[in-house]
Structure 1
Amino acid sequence: MKNKRSRRLSGGLKAAFSNRSFVIGFVITAIVVVVALFPQVFATHDPNALSPTEVLAGPSSAHFFGTDNYGRDVFSRCIWATRMDLQIGLISASIPLVVGSIIGLLAGFYGGIVDTLFMRLLDVVMAFPFTVLVIAIMAILGQGIQNMYIAIWIIGWVAFAKLVRAEVLVVKNSEYVMAARIMGFSDRRILLRHILPNTISSAIVYFTSYIVICMLTGASLSFLGLGVQPPTSEWGSLMNMGRGYINNAPWMTIFPGLFLAITGVGLSLIGDGMTDFLRTKGR
């Protein structure tokens, strides 16, 4: 069994790394992760160091991305913001993945009143744009990164639950699940050993894209002044600070936006490539 699983894993990895999109995404994401883990190595200045004599200085050898309205090095602030934005994406997406997958698994498997209640709740949540609901919840909870996490968690699990539920409805009527029932296996074993491994693939692929959604949402909320608060470096808040100087200091907005866009592209490409990897694993 272990050898069979090892062969499947090896074949899946080979399929993933033979995909050009996955390789490009992996390289981009790996670089972003390294920068997030060791920002002090890549930053050329203290991100919060003020320099009144270098206010709004353009890109140069001394300041690669120029300086902001307080004379702070934009490059260093973008580098340190990588850690915060990646943290926002991972923390915001991880809880919905777990909670949504569990709810979708149970709702799809048992059906009945559990599935009916889930579908009604799903209809209510899906009727409104994601960001609008998050902002509405934060209006009640207040601004700040912790409340932002809570707001995203409250809404985010729905998409994962819907995705897993749809997969479960197909898999639970398959021959191997019916055989497991006939053999007298418990519901717990059927769910964890037979259904979950064959339904979680779509949720994992979506997880990589959802990290990007959470990062964009976090940047949007910080841009509106609801998320990460100054002086903490975060790409959305950096763009918010730069919008007042877009005409005479566009680098304050352009470079944080590029960091966010490149990171999003990398994670999205990984999600595309993971489809091949998960398909190769099979059943």
Structure 2
Amino acid sequence: MTSIEHPRSTTRVAVDAVKLAELHEAPEILRLVNVWDAVSARLVAQLPGTQAIATAGHSIAASHGYPDGEKIPLDLLIAAIERIVAATDLPVTADLDGGFGDTGETVRRAIGVGVSGANIEDRLRPLDESVAVVRAAIEAGEREGVRFVLNARTDAIVKAGDRPRAESLADAIERGRAYLEAGAQSVFVPGVLDAEDTRTLVDGLGAGKLSVIGLPGALTAAEYEALGVARISYGPMTQNVALTALKRLGESLLADGAIPEDTEKLNDF
């Protein structure tokens, strides 16, 4: 494939959304290896066990020279997501940061390039404002005929500051329940969650409703699955691992090393 294919029809996106929702609701944890461009999407899509594709907003921004946090122009982000969608036949869930100021319009544009679900951050806005963002995303999907699969992110843990852990967990549960009631499929609580934290969140949100991130020091996917977690993704960590490999190779080559003989050719379209 050398160019972007025609975007998926809304009917196709609606079918993808049903499939994506079923993957969240299955007893097995949904494992998502985050991608940031067409070639990473194509590679991950071909791996045995990959059932859906998730973009990493931080990684897409970094690959275009922007910091995280809606610094990348929305047009550029949507174009990057469109290329990712074109590189795979699997359902795609996209990281849409905080909604770029107009969540409904951002979701409409994402659906237009073939996206069937998304992460959208609450950034610890007041709860009523955050619920309105969730509703705007769900209603945008409804207008397009898509049961949009929203993985509503709360920063109650990752941006807790000095707040006691118990208060942050309670805040995450309160926010998460409100997002689920407003139509979200799951609640994404980023941060390193141990077994006790995870049990507290699953008890508060319900089995099959918590989404987590795999970070150094976190539990394994199997351990989270046993605790009732619905979904695990890895955010910018996949790109960090790839860049670490590039850094180490570069150091070796600059020191008169050689390309390893077992290097695979993985970037052919």
TM range (shorter): under 0.3
Instruction: Please identify which structure carries the higher helix content.
Output: 1
TM-score for both structures, normalised by structure 2: 0.27
Give the number of the structure with larger relative contact order, counting CA–CA contacts within 8 Å between residues 6 or more apart. 1
| Greater C-alpha Rg | 1
Structure with the higher fraction of residues in strand conformation: 2
